[in-house]
C-alpha cells in the first residue's frame, strides 16, 4: 500500500529554527519602527539583553537626540559668555584671557550685541611680547546661527567649514548665547573632560595668604560654605547679583562691600554684570578662614 502522506508534510531537513514560534509570530505582527522613540525602545531592549554595551547605547541614543535638539537647547547663555572688548588694549585683556582659559573668544565693539568676530588665543602667541598690538587684524569672522538650528545640521556645518564656535541669535536679532563643536559632540559621547575641567568647576581661588579671587557667577551657597558667611540667598543666586543689590547700581571696577569680616571688591565688570571679585579677610575679624 502506497504512502498516502503528502510530500509537503514530510519533515524537512535543513537548518534548525533560530527563533521560537512565538518570536516568529511577534516578528510578523510587529511593525517597523515608526519614530525615534520606537528606535530608542529597540536600543534599550538590546542594551538590557547585553547585545550592545552601555557606551554604545549612550552614543547611539545621543546621536538620535542630536537630530531632535537645537542650538537653543544646549547653548551657553549670553549672561555667561566670556567676551572681549575690542576697544581695550591687550594688556587689559590678557588677565581675563588667562583666567578663563578659553581657546576662542567672541569679540564685541561698544555693545555686547555687536559681535565683530572671534579671536583665537593661539593667534596671540606670536604677538604676546607686544602688549600694544592692534587686535583687529587677528579677528576672524564670526558665524551666526538661529536658536532653531538643528544640532545635526550644525555639526555638519562645523565639519565642512572647519569652524568650532557659533554665535546664537534670538528672534529679535540679539545675541542669545554661543555653542561650540565640543558642546554638540558632548550630546553624543557625553562630557569631554580635559586638564582644565577640574579647575573650571571652581569659582573661588586663593591668590595669597589672605586674599581670594571669586567669579561673579559664584553661587551664594558655595560662597557661604567657603567663607562661613551668611549672605542671603532668598532673592539672589550669585555673588554678583548680591553685590549689585548691595550697591544699588551696576557694579564697576573698584566698588567695595564690607560684610562679616570680608572686604569684597569688584575687580572685573562689564556694562551688565560683575565678572571677578577680590576677597580679603579682615585680620581683625574672628571669622574662620575659608576652606574648600
CATH code assigned at 251: 3.30.465.10
**162 within a domain of the structure (yes/no):** yes
**3 within a domain of the structure (yes/no):** no
Alpha-carbon torsion angle 97, 74, 199, 240, nearest 10: 70
Q: Residue 119: exposed, middle, or buried by beta-carbon count in 10 A (0-12, 13-18, 19+)?
A: buried
Q: Check whether residue 143 and residue 85 sit in a common domain.
A: yes
Residue 229 and residue 240 in contact, taking contact as beta carbons nearer than 8 Å: no
pLDDT at 146: 95
pLDDT at 4: 43
Query: 20, 44, 68 — which closes off a domain?
Result: 68
pLDDT at 57: 74
Query: 159, 189, 219 — which closes off a domain?
Result: 189
Q: Check whether residue 144 and residue 221 sit in a common domain.
A: no
- Cell triple for residue 171? 528672534
This prediction has a pTM of 0.56
Q: What is the pLDDT of residues 73-96, one digit of tens each?
A: 889 888 788 899 998 888 788 888
CATH code assigned at 149: 3.10.580.10
Would you tell me how many other CB atoms lie within 10 Å of the CB of residue 4?
5
Nearest to 187 by CA among 279, 37, 64, 20: 64
pLDDT at 35: 66
**289 within a domain of the structure (yes/no):** no
pLDDT at 188: 80
Residue 112 and residue 271 in contact, taking contact as beta carbons nearer than 8 Å: yes
pLDDT at 113: 87
Q: Check whether residue 60 and residue 93 sit in a common domain.
A: no
Q: Check whether residue 128 and residue 214 sit in a common domain.
A: no
Q: Check whether residue 114 and residue 57 sit in a common domain.
A: no
In this prediction, the residues of the chain whose per-residue pLDDT falls under 50 are 1-9, 11, 14-18, 25-26, 28-29, 195, 197-200, 285-289, 291-292
Residue 266: domain span: 203-281
CA 136/CA 68 separation, integer angstroms: 38
**136 within a domain of the structure (yes/no):** yes
Query: 189, 222, 247 — which closes off a domain?
Result: 189
Number of domains in the chain: 3
**225 within a domain of the structure (yes/no):** yes
Amino acid at each position: 500500500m502506497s504512502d498516502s502522506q503528502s510530500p509537503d508534510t514530510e519533515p524537512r531537513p535543513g537548518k534548525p529554527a533560530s527563533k521560537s514560534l512565538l518570536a516568529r509570530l511577534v516578528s510578523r505582527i510587529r511593525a517597523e519602527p515608526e519614530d525615534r522613540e520606537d528606535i530608542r525602545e529597540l536600543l534599550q531592549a538590546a542594551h538590557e539583553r547585553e547585545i550592545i554595551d552601555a557606551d554604545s547605547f549612550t552614543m547611539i541614543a545621543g546621536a538620535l537626540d542630536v537630530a531632535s535638539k537645537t542650538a537653543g537647547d544646549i547653548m551657553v547663555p549670553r549672561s555667561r559668555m566670556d567676551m572681549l572688548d575690542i576697544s581695550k588694549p591687550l594688556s587689559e585683556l590678557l588677565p581675563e584671557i588667562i583666567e578663563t582659559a578659553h581657546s576662542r573668544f567672541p569679540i564685541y565693539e561698544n555693545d555686547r550685541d555687536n559681535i565683530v568676530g572671534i579671536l583665537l588665543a593661539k593667534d596671540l602667541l606670536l604677538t604676546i611680547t607686544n602688549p600694544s598690538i592692534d587686535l583687529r587684524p587677528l579677528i576672524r569672522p564670526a558665524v551666526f546661527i538661529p536658536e532653531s538650528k538643528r544640532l545635526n545640521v550644525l555639526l555638519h556645518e562645523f565639519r565642512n567649514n572647519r569652524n568650532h564656535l557659533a554665535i546664537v541669535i534670538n528672534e529679535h536679532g540679539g545675541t542669545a548665547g554661543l555653542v561650540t563643536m565640543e558642546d554638540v559632540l558632548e550630546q553624543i559621547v557625553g562630557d569631554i573632560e580635559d586638564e582644565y575641567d577640574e579647575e573650571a568647576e571652581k569659582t573661588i581661588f586663593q591668590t595669597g595668604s589672605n586674599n581670594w579671587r571669586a567669579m561673579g557667577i559664584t553661587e551664594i551657597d558655595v560662597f557661604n560654605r567657603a567663607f562661613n558667611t551668611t549672605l542671603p540667598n532668598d532673592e539672589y543666586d550669585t555673588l554678583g547679583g548680591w553685590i549689585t543689590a548691595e550697591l544699588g547700581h551696576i557694579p564697576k571696577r573698584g566698588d567695595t562691600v564690607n560684610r562679616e569680616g570680608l572686604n569684597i571688591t569688584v575687580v572685573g565688570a562689564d556694562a551688565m554684570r560683575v565678572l571677578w571679585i577680590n576677597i580679603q579677610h579682615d585680620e581683625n575679624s574672628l571669622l574662620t578662614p575659608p576652606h574648600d
